[in-house]
Amino acid sequence: MSANGFSKEEVIEALHSIAGEMHDNMTKGQPPRMTLPVRTKKNIAFDERLGVYKYGKKMSTRDATSLGSARQLLRALHVTEFIEEMINAGKSSTLREMYYISEGWGHGKFGSQNESNNLAEDLEIVTRCMREDFKLRPEEDGARIIGNITFEERNRRGDWMRINCRDDVGDSGYGVPYNVEAEKLRLITHDVDFIMAIETGGMFDRLVENGFDESAHCALIHLKGQPARSTRRIIKRMNEEWNLPVLVFLDGDPWSFRIFASIAYGAIKTAHISEYLATPSAVYLGIRADDIESYDLPSDELSSRDIQALKAELSDPRFADSEWQEEINMMLDLGKKAEQQSLAKYGLDFVTDTYLPEKLAQIMGR
């Protein structure tokens, strides 16, 4: 049941080692502590071997000398206990359920769902396990896929069910489950040339309605904004196991750059498992900053938050290469951003008849 093949006993032992460190500290008269990598853009670096961005060597110590940190340690212990109980009882829970269960943990309860999500990630990082090992699953649903590809998914009864994402699904496509590892999902066959990942539901539906999957011979996947882990993981698997190119079609704004980085290079929050989630060969298709001018797209002024985000990206190691620096600076100079759907200015078919074919030709030509 694990991407990296830990047994139940190994998972519990890994979690216990965190409690063990704290206990050892206290026995020595030291404040209990937990050591983990710094989880900011300042501490991610390109891993040559894996071809993705991983956490660097900067470590931070969380020790019980401040109330906030002490609470975190106590929470980690409560979570450890909770996971152990679930493993022993053969149950699982969503991260949101864990957040609500923490109501009963007294001083160890979470202040927000964000805190509980972050702590689950902290434990993944320290133990090198994955949250599936902890019997924790996300609340967020994964992506939708439409195209001529065939999966086998194990259903609740434990039977394998064969699904073709063009013939066996309705207009909303195949819903990607939260677990897309081999024990749950098998990649069977496909008849497509590439995979196109799309940021917004509106654009996904437009491409489906225009039959773009058939005309361009591709599979369409709807990212639903910042893609969930399972979405990134299934893209990665299709890319690796079927050797399919991945093209990413997003809005033209600072946040799209970050979405692309999380697909191609690894997200900062999950840099500890970038090698499972990131698809380094993914290509950014658009909307690009210069599209706004060359296609004369309806656009909005960059807000002060947008500008701040772009400036932050300039110092993000994932955007360090000259091409990205140029792209970001171009958007800053232009002072504008545009949505995918602004292409509708030239009619409903413009995107499938003109824009995407032109973009594809550019990329193929490169």
Partner 1 sequence: MADAERIASKQKQISISEFFEKNKHFLGFDTLQRAVITAVKEAVDNSLDACEESRILPDIRIEINRLSGDRLELIAQDNGPGIPRDAIENVFGRFLLGSRFHAIRQTRGQQGIGITGVLMYSQLTTGSKTRVTSKIASDSSAVHVDLGLDTRKNRATKSNERRDLWLDENGHEIEHGLMIRTVMRAKYQRGRQSVHQYLRMTSIVNPHATIHLTVRGLDGEIIDDGHWIRTTEKLPRVVEEIKPHPHGILLGQLQRMLKETDERNMTSFLRHGFSGVSLRAAKEILAAAELDEGRIPARVKAEDAQKMVEAFQRVKLLAPPTDCLSPIEEMLIKKGLSKAIDSRFASTATRKPTVSQGNPFQIEVGLVFGGDLQAEGPIEILRFTNRVPLMYQQGGCLLTKALESVDWKRYGLDHPGGRGLPKGPAAVLIHLASTNVQFTSEAKEAVADNEEVFEEVRRAMLEVGRGLRNHLKKSSQRKKAQEKFDLINIILPEISRKTSQLLGREEPDLAPVITRIMNAVFLEDEIGWDKHSNQAVCSLTIYNYTARARAYTILAKWPEGEGVAIAENPRGGRKETTGLWAWRLDTLDPGQSAEIRFTVSGLSKGDWTDAEIFFRGNGDIIGATKIDEKLLDEMRKMEALALAEAEYAAATMNESIQRLVERTPVLETSGESLVVSSDESVVEPSNESQRMINNPEDLRQWTPAEEVNE
Candidate list 39, 54, 62, 78; residue touching partner 1; CB under 8 A = 78
Nearer of residues 87 and 248 to partner 1, judged by Cβ: 87
Candidate list 1, 36, 50, 71; residue touching partner 1; CB under 8 A = 71
Size of the site for partner 1 (CB under 8 A): 28
The owner of tokens 């990649």 is 187
Active site residue 174: no
- For 99, the token pair is 């957040």
Among residues 55, 100, 276, 295, the one annotated as catalytic is 100
Least Cβ distance, residue 77 to partner 1 (angstroms): 4
**Rounded to an integer, what distance in angstroms lies between the CA atom of residue 242 and that of residue 273?**
21
Quote the DSSP letter at residue 353: I
x/- site string to partner 1, residues 18 to 47, per CB under 8 A?
A: -xx-xx-xxx-xxxx---------------
Backbone φ, ψ for residue 354 (5° rounding): -120, -60
Least Cβ distance, residue 72 to partner 1 (angstroms): 10
- Range in contact with partner 1 (rule: CB under 8 A) among 74-82, 131-139, 181-189, 308-316: 74-82
> Which residues sit opposite 195 in a β-bridge?
219, 246
Alpha carbon 297 to chain centroid distance?
Answer: 29
Candidate list 4, 40, 61, 65; residue touching partner 1; CB under 8 A = 65
66 binds partner 1 (CB under 8 A): yes
Nearer of residues 72 and 279 to partner 1, judged by Cβ: 72
**Rounded to an integer, what distance in angstroms lies between the CA atom of residue 190 and that of residue 166?**
11
Nearer of residues 27 and 243 to partner 1, judged by Cβ: 27
Nearer of residues 67 and 364 to partner 1, judged by Cβ: 67
Determine which helix (DSSP H) or strand (DSSP E) holds 89, and give its type and residue range: helix 67-89
Determine which helix (DSSP H) or strand (DSSP E) holds 307, and give its type and residue range: helix 304-314
**Rounded to an integer, what distance in angstroms lies between the CA atom of residue 95 and that of residue 286?**
33
The answer to whether residues 188 and 182 touch, using CB atoms and an 8 Å cutoff, is: no
Least Cβ distance, residue 114 to partner 1 (angstroms): 21
The answer to whether residues 287 and 231 touch, using CB atoms and an 8 Å cutoff, is: no
Candidate list 1, 45, 60, 81; residue touching partner 1; CB under 8 A = 81
Q: Using the CB atoms, write b or e for 34-45: b if 16+ within 10 Å.
A: bebbebebebbe
Residues forming the active site? 100
Residues of this chain that bind partner 1 (CB under 8 A): 16, 19-20, 22-23, 25-27, 29-32, 64-67, 70-71, 73-74, 77-78, 80-81, 84, 106-108
